[in-house]
Amino acid sequence: MKTKWVAGFWGTMQMCKLMICGGFSAWFFKRTRLDGPNRLVSILTWAVVAFRMVPIFGMEEIMIRTRIGETKTRSLRRCTVTVLLLAGLSPLAPAATIILVRHAERNAGMTPDVLLSPRGEERARELARVLKDANIRAVFTTEVRRTQQTAEPTAKEFHLQPTVIPAKDVDTLVSRLQALPDDETVLVVGHANTIPLLVERLGGTVPAMADTEYDRLVVAATSGKGKPAILTLRYGTLTH
């Protein structure tokens, strides 16, 4: 009778483990903005992978003796691990995702009408390719033509009309970004001096950009409470 009780308890814990892994996987892939069948397959795949990998961490071996006296070993999650997982998931909340990049490589000159170089045009197309699954809902550029050129392929990919906000009007752009609904992803194309400033005004910090740096892609996840989560990536040909 005791053996059946332990076996039943073990089975219940395995189901709880699967639900926790599946829930975490669903949250993770919701944040990556995968939609439709791809999202469902990804959630199921990662849930199974996590379910199989979890026994590696924080497990105890419980001996279950059968009626004929043989000993079988079952792996059972420690309660502390379950509590930690639930505690880790509890503060998670939907957040707006802001992707910030500098305009791509330009031709010689600094005036507002200077256009992208051929290398810059290629980087703009690469940005659209990188963000094709990001479910971009809005695009913000400055009045400078090269920021608009950089954003154009991505805007076309998502059938969007970019919103132009002058580079000096940082307050207006920050207000628009802070007012974004949860679970909305937007692209901001700015300049070497405005991208770090925008991140700072949103509550984060990133290093200053060099004049020759065009490959930095900053992701800021903001929930309206506390500092945003900042992730810095690189895309296209490395320039730093």
Give domain limits for the chain.
Answer: 2-89, 96-234
Q: Give the pTM.
A: 0.63
Number of helices (H), then strands (E), in the chain = 7, 8
pLDDT for residue 104:
97
Residue type, 88: G
Structure tokens at 135: 């479910």
pLDDT for residue 233:
95
| Sequential pLDDT tens for the chain (240 residues) | 545 555 565 566 666 655 665 565 555 555 544 444 444 444 444 444 444 444 433 433 333 333 334 333 333 333 333 333 333 333 445 689 999 999 999 998 888 889 999 999 999 999 999 999 999 999 999 999 999 999 999 999 999 999 999 999 999 999 999 999 988 999 999 999 999 999 999 999 999 999 999 999 999 998 766 789 999 999 999 886
pLDDT for residue 77:
36
The CATH number of domain 96-234 is 3.40.50.1240: yes
CA angle 33, 178, 89 (to 5 degrees): 50
Distance CA(74)–CA(16), nearest Å, equals 16
Residue type, 200: E
Distance CA(77)–CA(55), nearest Å, equals 7
CA 187 to chain centre: 13
CA dihedral 77, 67, 71, 17 (to 10 degrees): -20
